[in-house]
Structure 1
């Protein structure tokens, strides 16, 4: 008989029952579980901040020397043209600056017993806004809460932490379908004790090549904003690195826990 074609494997959205089962599984661990952690963005910060500083410094210099204090004998329209150029350069500088802002650094599942009591009930002096009422209702329905850490606009400052229920984190993608889930951890080029003398000689050069390649890739990503996907936490839009990083259970846990809303 003719051989039947193998059906394509599709990753569907988790059902409410599956989401609750995963939440119960994570809560049974009795300790916080890091579901996602982004990689180092050092070179992305270097490229984006360097470009932002250059654009803003260029705009300030030419605004002061060509618009506020134009040289003698300069045509009347030249300062106006430089004003447009300076405005464009400032806009480009802030665009580069925002490249490294509001990136999700870590998503941690916390058992509800470990969540601060102020998030689970309305204590004295707490204002019961509609957003807080929605958070309390969502946390009462889930045995775990999510602690999301996001980078701020100014680099090297402490991350912003937001406590949210799983239903308040929206994913327009599935982590299992991203390159992050299929990326294998970096391994040594050859096992210890094997490969011969030539392998030992070339090993430092290969490591140097990987480092240079990672640096250039980070510089390009900082300028072009490559490799990021949107994510919403309590209605606020952030971005998450989908190229590399650490995923708990290869992304199956976070995909089962969070609602998929394309």
Structure 2
């Protein structure tokens, strides 16, 4: 239906407007959004942020919460293990202490022990049981006391290598399922720490196999820590020591090449000094630290041995009774 309207001042012809009541049935061409006025813009798509923009202030928007999915690595808490349990968690034994080869010390100890015990036996047989005629009987008592003293010294030297620790290791822990089938993760309560200790037997015979001892770290007690904290040298001191070492080696090399005739005597002196040093260690026990394992006293060689982390690892695992 058309209805005439009055013409405007600038136009002489009447304008007709087509009025249709069935506006919804007619296809209307969509006008671009940038041509529409701001108040007449509509959203053709619906997003969560768009709903928040046009929501009434009284109505609170509902934001869908995404379910948090934890990864398997983060969902299972990692066990809190001590230093000893971290070493026991490895697949291979960890060496905490290992003594250097002690062939010279063993040779000197057994040789000195055999010499003193043989001298004691000869002295008692010759001067006690076969006392020459014309001597007072009190002389035999004196020779007997000397023989006992020689035998005691020989026993001392022969038993000095007894109880020497060869190595100390941390054994790998057994599977947790073998200890507790219901446990699924390793915890400090069910992860055992065992030490394997190799020591010489008390029998004073060379070639005897070592004794293997498995002990709990709480049953191993040392009298003093192995780690001896020293002030680290400065860069200047390191450079100075390096130069002094180079100069000393150069001088020794020059002296060795210029005095070849006396070289055998110098080498013999070095061998004799080494034997005397080991002989002194066998007599005085120099260079050994006492250690108690399951209530039994053993010895650690601290003069020449390999220790993990300069001894700090063993100090952290075993007990130290100062």
Give the number of the structure with larger relative contact order, counting CA–CA contacts within 8 Å between residues 6 or more apart: 1
1:171-182, aligned counterparts within 5 Å? 171-177=222-228
Q: Which runs of 4+ in 1 moved over 6 A?
A: 195-198
- In the alignment, structure 1 residue 26 sits paired with structure 2 residue 87: yes
Give runs of aligned pairs for residues 98-117 of structure 1, distance below 5 A.
98-113=159-174
- 1:187-217 alpha-carbon deviations (Å, 9 max, x no partner): 9x76xxxx98985885998x96996454543
Note the aligned Cα RMSD (angstroms). 3.3
2:306 maps to 1:255: no
1:49 to 107, 110, 119: 110
| 2:280 is aligned with 1:229 | no
1:166–1:216 CA distance, 2 compared to 1 (3 A): same
Q: Distance in 2 between matches of 1:261 and 1:225?
A: 20
Q: What displacement does 1:88 show?
A: 1.4
Partners of 2:305 and 2:250 in 1: CA distance: 32
Q: Deviations over 1:110-130 (max 9, x none)?
A: 02218xx9xx8xxxxxxxxxx
Preserved contact between residue 128 and residue 143 of structure 2 (Cα < 8 Å): yes
Q: Where in structure 2 are there 5+ consecutive unaligned residues?
A: 1-80, 180-188, 231-241
Equivalent residue, structure 2, for 1:164: 215
CA–CA distance in structure 2, aligned partners of residues 104 and 198 of structure 1: 36
Structure number with the higher helix fraction is 1
For the residues of structure 1 that align with 2:156 and 2:138, how far apart are their CA atoms?
A: 28
Q: Unpaired segments of 5 or more residues in structure 1?
A: 1-19, 121-139, 180-186
Do 2:100 and 2:305's aligned partners in 1 also have CA atoms closer than 8 Å? yes
Q: CA deviation at 1:245?
A: 0.7
Q: Distance in 1 between the 2:209 and 2:113 partners?
A: 21
* CA offset digits 1:159-182 (Å, max 9, x no partner): 111110111111111111289xxx
Give a deviation string over 1:79-128, Cα, whole Å, max 9, x none: 111111111111111111121111111101102218xx9xx8xxxxxxxx
> TM-score when scaled to structure 2?
0.56
Residue of structure 2 in register with 1:246 after alignment: 306
Q: Please report how far the alpha carbon of residue 66 of structure 1 lies from its aligned counterpart in structure 2 after TM superposition.
A: 1.5
Query: 1:155 pairs with 206, 217, 242, which one?
Result: 206
SS of the aligned residue for 1:176 comes to coil
Which of these two proteins has the greater Rg computed from alpha carbons? Answer: 2
Q: Give the 3 Å change call, closer, same or farther, for CA 178–244 of structure 1 in structure 2.
A: farther
Give me the whole-angstrom Cα distance separating, in 1, the residues matched to 2:88 and 2:95. Answer: 12
Structure 2 vs 1, CA of residues 231 and 178 (structure 1 numbering), >3 Å: closer, same or farther?
farther
Task: Report the 3-state secondary structure (helix = DSSP H, G, I; strand = E; otherwise coil) of the residue aligned with 1:105.
Answer: strand
SS in 2 for 1:36: strand
Q: Is the 8 A contact 2:165 2:199 kept in 1?
A: yes
How many corresponding residue pairs? Answer: 207
